[in-house]
Amino acid sequence: MALVDATRVRHIFAWGPREYYRMQFEDLRLVEPLLRAVRTARYVHPTPIQAQAIPLVLAGRDVLGCAQTGTGKTAAFALPILQQLSDRSARAARPAGRVRALVLCPTRELAQQIYESFRTYGRHTGVRQTVVFGGVNQGPQARALRAGVDILIATPGRLLDLMGQGLANIASTEILVLDEADRMLDMGFLPDLRRILTQVPRQRQTLLFSATMPPPIRKLAGDILHDPVPVQVARVSSPAPSVAHWVYHVEKPDKPTLLVRLLTQTPHTRALVFTRTKHGADKVVKRLVKAGVPAAALHGNKSQGARTRALGEFRSAQTPVLVATDIAARGLDVDDISHVINYDLTPEPETYVHRIGRTGRMGAVGTAMSFCTSQDKDNLRAIERLIREPLRRAADLLENGGLSPDPSRAIPHRALQPRTHSILPGRSPSKGSRGRRPSPVPAVS
Ligand code: AMP
């Protein structure tokens, strides 16, 4: 769990509603064991989504939450769930060996992250949680379930497997959470979700969180939520305001050279590069490594071990460049990603928002760079319509006759110009850049 210093916390509220700035966690009537855990995590004020959702969840209401990633959404549901389950009278009535709160999410990485958040916040409560996801041996997961858990965090496929073998019993679920619901639908989990929903009691509390609210999500919400309270902390599909958006007009054969150039000449803490395909991600990694840029790939064809290792080395900045498919676009909580690079522009504008959500988290400054070929122009327009601002145009490489030998022509941001310090792997640009809005940058002709 990342620790957040006071400067960052102040900045969250520089763009959050004023009244939340003054709010304390104590005002939310959280019990002492949770307040203690929150203090240890060095959270000073609840974020807007926490301030809104925690009292509602504690009051037993269903919630339909629309929130960007990086807004503190996990604690917004984890803290009140832990409080409800740690309540003594409720514990006394605990059915043996049965799950009481079930959290469903789309990817293994997100499941692991949510599990760690529950452990962090619940460390003084005695509430037991475990996580199950596919791609790994189910033995330890089955053992943890047999030992008894109160909270189960799961991806839908593995949960159904375990239920089929009689290893997971969700028939006593009191609270059901669907996190990143839009992503679960995009990944084709709707039939799995419907099967799981037939196994949980009708009488329950349900919380549904989604970064976007397209019609299929509204329909699902209408089917499974009871008189929900909508909670929204940002305009639907708006990227964090602290991210600067740049577009590079470049044709496909020139993309690798441009990427190498940007990564070798741009100070970055961690850069996340998105490709359309798994094969594309592997190819980009090969090219970067050949050019001396340490990079790793993260996509669905990698074994769970390789995915965990790639993510771990990215988190520690040992390998500060991660090349990923959209599996990494949502939910990943890695601090200090200074750059998101859309090597392949996505045809889905909402995916752009999710990808970009990996940087500029919790008020930090971030830079998004998108490569746009002549075939991507419609996609670019759709993205600009959705985020309601044009991407700033970097040197138009095509009009300027291909890649310029002068890298500064391709690098518009002052912060992106080569600096006097070398850009060694793991080196961070000054922490002082955190929390400031991106400064307006003159476009390079
Ligand atoms: P999430 O949106 O749940 O992925 O949270 C994003 C990041 O915000 C995580 O690193 C959390 O540790 C951090 N965080 C959550 N709540 C707070 C808070 N009230 N104050 C400061 N940081 C927080």
Q: What is the pLDDT of residues 165-176, one digit of tens each?
A: 999 999 999 999
Q: Which atom of ligand 1 is nearest to the CA of 113?
A: 4
Q: Which of 9, 45, 47, 112 gets mutated to test ligand 1 (max ligand atoms within 8 A of its CB)?
A: 47
How far is ligand 1, taken at its centre, from the CA of residue 121, in Å?
A: 11
Average pLDDT, integer, range 280-305: 92
Rg over CA atoms, the chain: 22
73 pocket-lining for ligand 1 (C-beta < 6 Å)? yes
> How does pLDDT run across 66-110, given as a tens digit for each residue?
886 667 899 999 999 999 998 755 555 555 568 999 999 999 989
Q: What is the pLDDT of residue 121?
A: 97
pLDDT score recorded for residue 94: 56
Residue 127: closest CA among 28, 37, 49, 43 = 37
**pLDDT, mean of residues 348-375:** 84
Average pLDDT over residues 357-363: 74
Indicate whether 426 pLDDT > 90: no
Ligand 1 contacts CB of residue 359 (under 6 A): no
Confidence grade of residue 362 (pLDDT, cut at 50, 70, 90)? low
For residue 91, the model assigns a pLDDT of: 54
Measured in Å, residue 399 CA sits from the centre of ligand 1 at 43
For ligand 1, what atom is nearest to the CA of residue 43?
A: 20
Mean pLDDT of 109-131: 95
> Among the listed ranges 37-41, 231-235, 270-274, 377-381, which one has the minimum average pLDDT value?
231-235
Determine if ligand 1 sits within 6 Å of the CB of residue 2: yes
Return the minimum-mean-pLDDT range out of 122-136, 183-197, 292-306, 351-365: 351-365
Given the CA of residue 3, which atom of ligand 1 is nearest to it? 12
- So what's the pLDDT on residue 267? 82
DSSP 252-312: GGGHHHHHHHHHHHS--S-EEEE-SSHHHHHHHHHHHHHTT--EEEE-TTS-HHHHHHHHH
* CA 194 – ligand 1 centroid, Å: 30
What atom in ligand 1 is closest to the CA of residue 44?
20
Instruction: Give me ligand 1 centre to Cα 74, in Å.
Output: 8
More confident residue, 135 or 15: 135
171 lines ligand 1 (CB under 6 A): no
How far away, in angstroms, is 265 Cα from ligand 1 center?
A: 31
285 pLDDT above the threshold of 90: yes
Ligand 1: which of 39, 183, 333 to mutate, most ligand atoms within 8 Å of CB? 333
Tell me, using a 6 A CB cutoff, whether residue 435 lines ligand 1. no
Higher per-residue confidence, 296 vs 240 = 296
Domains of the chain: 6-232 (3.40.50.300), 243-409 (3.40.50.300)
Ligand 1 atom closest to Cα of 45? 19
Of 443 and 50, the structure prediction assigns the larger pLDDT to 50
- Band of residue 275 on the pLDDT scale cut at 50, 70, 90: very high
**349/136 Cα distance (integer angstroms):** 33
Give yes or no for residue 423 having a pLDDT over 60: no
Verify whether ligand 1 is closer than 6 Å to residue 360 (CB atom). no
Mean of the per-residue pLDDT values of the chain: 81
Would the pLDDT of 432 be above 90? Answer: no
Whose CA is closest to atom 21 on ligand 1? 43
Task: Please list, in sequence order, all residues whose beta carbon lies within 8 angstroms of the beta carbon of residue 156, skipping any fewer than 6 positions away.
Answer: 104, 184, 189, 192, 193, 196
Tell me the pLDDT tens digit for each residue of 335-351: 788 999 999 999 888 78
Task: Determine the straight-line distance between the first and last CA of the chain, rounded to whole angstroms.
Answer: 43
Q: What's the longest Cα–Cα distance across the chain? A: 73
Q: Which of the residue ranges 84-88, 275-279, 359-363, 402-406 would you say has the lowest mean pLDDT?
A: 402-406
Phi-psi region of 185 (alpha: psi -120 to 50; beta: other; left: phi over 0): alpha
- Which of these ranges, 20-24, 56-60, 143-147, has the smallest mean pLDDT? 20-24
Closest ligand 1 atom to residue 47 Cα is 19
Q: Which among 366, 364, 438 has a CA at the least distance from the CA of 2?
A: 364
- Is ligand 1 within 6 A of the CB of residue 9? yes
The predicted pLDDT at position 331 comes to: 53
What is the pLDDT at residue 47?
86
Q: Where are the alpha helices (DSSP H) in 172-254?
A: 181-186, 190-197, 215-224
Output 14 or 299, whichever has higher pLDDT: 299
Higher pLDDT, 78 or 326: 78
Q: Is 113 in the pocket of ligand 1 (CB under 6 A)?
A: no
Q: When comparing pLDDT for 199 and 237, which is higher?
A: 199
Percent of the chain having pLDDT more than 70?
78
Residue 223 has pLDDT above 90, yes or no: yes
Least confident among 128-132, 260-264, 385-389, 431-435: 431-435
Residue nearest atom 10 in ligand 1 by C-alpha distance: 2
Residue 413: is its pLDDT beyond 60?
Answer: no
* 417 pLDDT higher than 80: no
Task: Write down the pLDDT at residue 50.
Answer: 93
Q: Check pocket membership of 46 for ligand 1, CB cut-off 6 A.
A: yes
DSSP code, position 368: E
- Determine whether the shortest distance from the Cβ of 357 to ligand 1 is under 6 A: no
Q: Which atom of ligand 1 is nearest to the CA of 71?
A: 2
CA nearest to 44, candidates 81, 63, 77, 72: 72
Mean pLDDT of 272-283: 95
Sign of CA dihedral 262, 260, 337, 425: negative
Q: Is 68 in the pocket of ligand 1 (CB under 6 A)?
A: no
Nearest alpha carbon, ligand 1 atom 15 = 72
Bigger pLDDT: 261 vs 398 = 261
- Ligand 1 atom at minimal distance to the Cα of residue 69: 2
Say yes or no: CB of residue 99 within 6 Å of ligand 1. no
Ligand 1 centroid from CA 72, angstroms: 4
Structure confidence at residue 353 (pLDDT): 84
Kindly give the distance from the C-alpha atom of residue 153 to the centroid of ligand 1, in angstroms, as a whole number.
Answer: 18
pLDDT attached to residue 427: 28
């122009």: which residue's tokens?
Answer: 377
Q: Give the pLDDT mean for 278-296.
A: 95
